[in-house]
Amino acid sequence: MESIDKLYEAILKGNLPLAVEMTKIAIEEKIDPKSIIDNYMSKAMDEIGSRFENGKAFVPELLMSARAMKGALELLKPLLVDNNIPRAGTIVIGTVKGDLHDIGKNLVASMLEGSGFEVINLGVDISSEKFIASVVEHKANILCLSALLTTTMNYMKEVIRAIETAGVRDKVKIMIGGAPINSAFAKEIGADGYSSNANAAVSLAKQLLAS
């Protein structure tokens, strides 16, 4: 269990080799991958984020932590896949225009993929035009929008309006998420749902398709 505490420290300090080594040990120790992500890796990212907010860490440190988290996450991704489930539907996901944060969005994408959804991950800094083109091309059942900045979260509203204008709003459910988002905001901009983490995103996606 010592490895898991060291994993938190490794991500907080942005030490990629140590994060990878500790993740390998945690996997060998059969610690639940979702618990590794939620209780250690994401918590380390929250801590570096609050240090940044308080002027105790700077962008290079955020980048180092992000690199360590991504490296560790790569090892866990295959373990998030449940092969015994049929395809559940098609999902287009991306981080909205102006926003480059992708760790949480990629985690949501991996969990959805692992739960049987076909996921088209468009990446970061995605315009409404690109979202619409992808939804139409792939006949997506759900569109997932991610934003981590209070300045970019408002672009989600633009995407939803553009989808309405394009005449495809009744064909696709829209889920939103990211640190500054909450359900009141989701309601306000006309999204179909919000969830605060990747596990809840899977339940929400299933729920939306059943409704």
- Binding region for ligand B12 (CB under 6 A): 42, 45-46, 48-50, 52-53, 59, 62-63, 66, 98-105, 107-108, 144-146, 148-150, 175-180, 195-198, 201
Shortest CB 19 distance to ligand B12, Å:
14
Which residue's Cβ has the minimum distance to ligand B12? 104
Q: Which is nearer to ligand B12, 59 or 184 (by Cβ)? A: 59
Look at residues 133, 58, 43 and name the one whose alpha carbon lies nearest to residue 94.
133
State the nearest-atom distance from the C-beta of 182 to ligand B12, in Å: 11
Pairwise CA distance, residues 10 & 65, whole Å: 8
Q: Give yes or no for a contact between 72 and 44, defined as CB atoms under 8 angstroms apart.
A: no
Closest to ligand B12 by CB, 107 or 189: 107
Find the shortest distance in angstroms from Cβ 173 to ligand B12: 11
| Residues 130 and 95 sit within 8 Å (Cβ to Cβ) | no
Which C-beta is closer to ligand B12: that of 84 or that of 141?
141
For residue 101, the minimal CB distance to ligand B12 (Å) is 4
**Cβ-based nearer residue to ligand B12, 154 or 166:** 154
How deeply is 94 buried, as exposed, middle or buried, from its count of CB atoms within 10 A (0-12, 13-18, 19+)?
buried
Consecutive H or E run containing 193? strand 193-194
Give whichever of 22 and 48 is closer to ligand B12, judged by the CB atom.
Answer: 48
Q: What is the smallest separation between the CB atom of 46 and ligand B12, expressed in angstroms?
A: 5
Give 96: exposed, middle or buried? Use CB within 10 Å, 0-12, 13-18, 19+.
buried
